[in-house]
Structure 1
């Protein structure tokens, strides 16, 4: 019947930045990308995905809000790609135990676990242990919510960050910049990597390992069918060593043939040709 049942839906498996409209409008594999309109005939969203145990519509569908689709369209027209920025922080959810340890009334917000040197967050004065509660006056509920808000700000936007440090509330400002991204969905890198999620190695592992990490992969996805698995380290592409995702993207963007990946898995090295 086309009823909107929720706004701002997240945690939809296999999709990247998320801020979906949930609706029971009939969405099937053949009409994703179609318009979700209101009773006035106005565009409110772009149909994107469904939840279905059987593959058919069961009344749970998701659409990208038209405001977000418009921003993405403008970037594609102006720049030929979607440009997303970063604050340069790693964060995690606040559990009940952490909330008690930090004497927080509620376990909402996120705790900063790492601040990249010379990043916007570093320049703004954020430190590990800070509790980020709001971005531009919008409440931060959890890690996923933080990453969505961060990734959906337009480049060079200056935002206000509210945080708690040593039980004192404070605020600072930072600019969303093209500071190197720490994670990519596979389809942002290569069509054959769809279904995989790539991250830079955490600082604690860089002294021991080299490469970029696949930390999640969907069973049956193109990346899975290529032979990739969660926990794989991509150590080189086309005989060029890689240490971060910026290098991976540059090599794949300029690869004229099927890329050749060197994979490190369970103390063994493998070679994989990406189709």
Structure 2
């Protein structure tokens, strides 16, 4: 319906969002810095901070970081405002008591208590997930509020809940102070986050891959590909290396590496330990700066040589392979710079099918050596069998990019 003026125009609705925050720093000039979640203030035209005594102050955004869901606001007051300080969340243990403060459902300052239920939770909300889990009652409106330890230090920033109903069911998540503190400091200093960058595409090290590479157990991050002219390539890192340590910090699993690198100072020379050819290799790398706008980086390789030839069934893997030809390039829409051997057929119930290998995929390397013909693939399989190996490592290029796959070597029928 039209409005009262009869012109048929609707009045634009004004939306309001509520959240929580805390003052982390107060300066002598009256400026105070408030920490909250990015999703609390995202797309806001006006931001107002309401203090405990119900006084209202206009706030401006100093900086925000979408990847960690953190934001820093600035308010100005004639009186010195009290502030809190960050504690060390790394010292917190599962079972420690905590206190959460926030503004649930806009009711006002509310305090709840509980324990740390788990650490290092990955809830798939961003690339650097490392949440503290708590059973303290956290509801909508608590986002951005502080989580205190029993010493009164902030060890977490309440950020999310797991709830089928939308209310608290005893599963809440907080960004740990160990990750939030350096980001907040950068937002205050630069107005943005300047993350370290290594220039690699990585994947998890499975038990099969660890066995194939001679590792004692699954650990580290496997380098699937290198970004051209990136810090890793310049330092001598190779495709197939497993990064075990970065800047003297162990990499227990793949998802830990991006956060460790991101937290490292830009242009800083750091040590790098990789697993290569059955032994540890020490390297030095100068950390670059991540381009936040860059999502995907493609390899820039030379054209792979190839001679026309028919399909060849490789029974141990359950695939038919062929050299790259123009008809196959057109059939499978291969890039002009595609290299390796083309998978033209995959047998059902084969080891290749179990690992998601499909027709049109390219086998780029076998046992960390480049291949350009089906014959080279079978030769490497025969060599692996003679060495008594149960699995063989393939570098596959498919629709999702480069990835390593460890396949069992079945007996020829």
TM-score of the two chains, using structure 1 as the length reference: 0.63
Tell me: higher relative CO, structure 1 or 2? Use CA pairs within 8 A at least 6 residues apart: 1
Provide, for residues 137-195 of structure 1, a one-character-per-residue CA deviation record: whole Å limited to 9, x for no partner: 32213322222222232323333211111001122222221154586xxxxxxxxxxxx
Which of 117, 133, 151 is 1:5 aligned to? 117
What's the counterpart of residue 132 of structure 1?
A: 243
What's the counterpart of residue 226 of structure 1?
A: none
Q: CA deviation at 1:129?
A: 0.8
Secondary structure of the corresponding residue to residue 170 of structure 1:
strand
Rounded Cα–Cα distance in structure 1 between residues aligned with 2:280 and 2:152: 45
- 2:131 is equivalent to residue 20 of structure 1: yes
What's the counterpart of residue 191 of structure 1?
A: none
- 1:81–1:159 CA distance, 2 compared to 1 (3 A): same
What's the counterpart of residue 179 of structure 2?
A: 68
Report the aligned-residue RMSD.
Answer: 2.5
- 1:92–1:74 CA distance, 2 compared to 1 (3 A): same
Provide, for residues 58-94 of structure 1, a one-character-per-residue CA deviation record: whole Å limited to 9, x for no partner: 2222211223322112111221111212100111111
- 2:183 is equivalent to residue 87 of structure 1: no
What's the counterpart of residue 216 of structure 1?
A: none
Secondary structure of the corresponding residue to residue 252 of structure 2:
coil
Check conservation: 2:228, 2:299, Cα contact below 8 A.
no
Which stretch of the first structure deviates more once superposed, 57-66 or 152-161? 152-161
What's the counterpart of residue 145 of structure 1?
A: 256
- 2:132 is equivalent to residue 36 of structure 1: no
Rounded Cα–Cα distance in structure 1 between residues aligned with 2:146 and 2:125: 22
Check conservation: 1:17, 1:147, Cα contact below 8 A.
yes
TM-score of the two chains, using structure 2 as the length reference: 0.43
- 2:156 is equivalent to residue 45 of structure 1: yes
What's the counterpart of residue 235 of structure 1?
A: none
Quick check: which has more Rg, 1 or 2? 2
Rounded Cα–Cα distance in structure 2 between residues aligned with 1:53 and 1:179: 36
What's the counterpart of residue 284 of structure 2?
A: 173
- 1:182–1:147 CA distance, 2 compared to 1 (3 A): farther
Check conservation: 1:115, 1:127, Cα contact below 8 A.
yes
Rounded Cα–Cα distance in structure 1 between residues aligned with 2:334 and 2:265: 31
Check conservation: 1:50, 1:57, Cα contact below 8 A.
yes
Secondary structure of the corresponding residue to residue 13 of structure 1:
coil
Check conservation: 2:195, 2:290, Cα contact below 8 A.
no
Q: CA deviation at 1:47?
A: 0.9
Rounded Cα–Cα distance in structure 2 between residues aligned with 1:117 and 1:142: 24
Which structure: greater helix fraction? Answer: 1
What's the counterpart of residue 200 of structure 1?
A: 296
- 1:157–1:52 CA distance, 2 compared to 1 (3 A): farther
Secondary structure of the corresponding residue to residue 233 of structure 2:
helix
Secondary structure of the corresponding residue to residue 175 of structure 2:
strand
Q: CA deviation at 1:124?
A: 1.5
Rounded Cα–Cα distance in structure 2 between residues aligned with 1:176 and 1:104: 26
Check conservation: 1:23, 1:59, Cα contact below 8 A.
yes
What's the counterpart of residue 78 of structure 2?
A: none
